[in-house]
Structure 1
Amino acid sequence: MELELRHLRTVRAIADAGSLTRAATALGLAQPALSAQLKRIERALGGELFERGRHGVRATALGELVLERTRIVLPAVTELQQEAVRFARSPGATASLRLGGTHGPLLGALVDRLADVAPEVRVTTCTSWSERQLAGLLAEGRLDFALAGTCGSAAPPGAEGLVWREVAVDPVFVMLPEGHALADAHEIGLTELAEEEWACVPGDGCFGDCFAASCARAGFTPRRMYETDVTSLVHLVQVGRAVGLCRATYPTTPGIVSRPLRGTPLSWRHLLGRHAVSQDADTSATVLAQARMAHAGVAARSDSYTEWLAARRVP
């Protein structure tokens, strides 16, 4: 693993918090995920950075060395970002937007809308399954905006100086092969799927834990969860190997139906992130408004989501 700025920010956050538990809360991570990330960082640097104890963590000699470097490197990078923003806004600079996003149709829909409302702006894109990686790219000034998300009301991906605005909140639906016994149901209870195997795309937030907790409340433990890319997930569902978890805006796919889960035990909050100093207010407002309109357009193309929304409208 190559050391990145986001890794230095993680080390800094652990030192500032004084414990992995408090640092995980501040970063919006599960504590086991942060512990695993710290172990990878320590392997990359060649030794332990912190001594663990009952009352928290304390930096080792190597840890103190790394922390001393972060006090120099991180402010220097922030200053570089600010200088780059000033340069980009100077007369003669090329109008461009660098957008990032996770899997799903929302990023493409936003690019399409921006091409209509601002054809003179050159838009480039970057995708990642990791919301935390996207947050790191924003913090490093390598992206202008990023579409990411959180499970339910969880905190947004953590990185210093980032601003997150809500685009929309979707229920999480289940994907079934057309021949499944529950394919014609209007909604499906988790208990009805207790004997199934599952598939979802990977992420570094708390979605997996939230799903496991929802199943536990329903009285069962998932038999197996395949974490894989979207294409492989679709294949596993089409051939009946697994049922899939997806956001309600996932587009219609041949051989597959998507259905709501009874009681909406899981939800996904779409967020648009930016660095606090990277864009002016007008640009930020425009991109946010177009992201919300893009989401509305994507939702309107999903029959199952449209029916779910209609059933919840107040007469």
Structure 2
Amino acid sequence: MELELRHLRAIRAIAEAGSLTRAATALGLAQPALSAQLRRIERTLGGELFERGRHGVRATALGELVLERTRIVLPAVSELQQEATRFARDAHPETRRLRLRLGGTHGPLLGALVDRLARAAPDAAVSTRASWSEQELAELVTAGRLDFAVLGTCGSAPPPGPEHLRWREIAVDPVFVMLLDDHPLAALPEVDLAALADEEWACVPGDGCFADCFTAACARAGFSPRRMYETDTASCVHLVQVGRAVGLCRATFPPTPGLVTRPLTGTPLTWRHLLGWLPAGGRPDIAATVLAQARGAHADAAGRSDTYAAWLAGADGSREPGGGARAVP
């Protein structure tokens, strides 16, 4: 593993918080995920960075050395990114308003948003960057390298990145299960999680708490998942198509030949779609437009899913697609 800036930020956050649990909360990660990341960083650097005790963590000698470097490296890189962004924009003032840089996690929502923006503003130059890491996308927005990020969080987990990023909720979806159309449970209107206890699983990776929340949901259903394959969307679909696994997907997952998606009984898992930007980044004039187009893209995706429509019609028809839109701190 090569050391990255996000690793240095994690080390700094642990030192400042004095606790892995508090640092994980500040970074928007699950504590086990941060602990695993710290172990990988320590293996890369050749020794322990923190001593663990009953009252938290304390930097070792090696940890102090690394922290000293982070106090130099992180501000310098942030300043470089901001200066480069300002230089690039000032060098082309005539195109400043037409450039829109979007980032997103892997999934159909980013592509649908690009399509809607291209139709709404044909002269805009829209570029995209995809990443499985929500934290990386938040850092790119903070550094001024992206104007907006479209990403998600599990349930009510806090958004990633620093507090001064602004987040707005696009929609909230239930998490569905993806099955072969001839799977024994495919004919059911919804599937009990416990009925899938003997299956292997596939989903896209992320650095939030979704994996932990899924494991907890399985425990409540009375089993531990046998195996989880974390890979890109196309590979997840392939694993389901060949019968290797069942998949976890958002309710808006597009119709795919040979596959069906089904809601899980009781909705044990949900996913929030979020749009984030930096208020001081100079794009408040178009934030409302991008947010409206993102919500429209989600509504379009929901409308193309018969399974989602049937789920929405359940519970006396009182469910609403996407949930309520509200400000996220």
Please confirm whether the aligned pair reaches a TM-score higher than 0.5, indicating the same fold: yes
1:294-314 Cα shifts (integer Å, max 9, x gaps)? 111111111111221123433
Paired residues, number: 315
Partner Cα distance (2:208, 2:117) in 1: 28
**Secondary structure at the counterpart of residue 68 of structure 1:** helix
| Native 8 Å contact 2:28 2:158 kept in 1 | yes
Partner Cα distance (2:194, 2:46) in 1: 47
State how 1:293-312 maps to structure 2 within 5 Å.
293-312=296-315
Q: 1:161 to 1:76 in 2, by over 3 A?
A: farther
State how 1:139-218 maps to structure 2 within 5 Å.
139-159=142-162, 161-218=164-221
**Secondary structure at the counterpart of residue 92 of structure 1:** helix
State how 1:1-315 maps to structure 2 within 5 Å.
1-84=1-84, 86-87=86-87, 90=90, 91-94=93-96, 95-159=98-162, 161-312=164-315, 313-314=317-318
Partner Cα distance (1:12, 1:26) in 2: 11
| Native 8 Å contact 2:205 2:232 kept in 1 | yes
Counterpart residue type for residue 19 of structure 1: S
| Native 8 Å contact 1:164 1:274 kept in 2 | yes
Partner Cα distance (2:166, 2:186) in 1: 40
Mean alpha-carbon deviation: is it higher for 264-273 or for 216-225? Answer: 216-225
Backbone CA RMSD of aligned residues: 2.1
Counterpart residue type for residue 28 of structure 2: G
Mean alpha-carbon deviation: is it higher for 11-20 or for 272-281? Answer: 272-281
Counterpart residue type for residue 94 of structure 2: G
Counterpart residue type for residue 114 of structure 2: V
Q: CA deviation at 1:85?
A: 5.2
Q: 1:71 to 1:300 in 2, by over 3 A?
A: same
Partner Cα distance (1:37, 1:222) in 2: 22
Partner Cα distance (1:220, 1:302) in 2: 30
| Native 8 Å contact 1:163 1:276 kept in 2 | yes
| Native 8 Å contact 1:82 1:277 kept in 2 | no
Partner Cα distance (1:252, 1:234) in 2: 11
| Native 8 Å contact 1:139 1:160 kept in 2 | no
Partner Cα distance (1:48, 1:224) in 2: 30
Partner Cα distance (1:219, 1:126) in 2: 39
Q: 1:2 to 1:192 in 2, by over 3 A?
A: closer
Q: CA deviation at 1:227?
A: 2.0
Q: CA deviation at 1:80?
A: 4.0
Partner Cα distance (2:286, 2:77) in 1: 23
Q: 1:198 to 1:40 in 2, by over 3 A?
A: closer
When normalised by structure 1's length, the TM-score is 0.92
Counterpart residue type for residue 279 of structure 1: G
Q: Which runs of 5+ in 1 are unaligned?
A: none
Counterpart residue type for residue 151 of structure 1: C
Q: CA deviation at 1:14?
A: 0.7
Partner Cα distance (1:8, 1:105) in 2: 31
Partner Cα distance (2:88, 2:123) in 1: 15
Counterpart residue type for residue 226 of structure 1: Y
**Secondary structure at the counterpart of residue 199 of structure 1:** strand
Q: Which runs of 5+ in 2 are unaligned?
A: 320-329
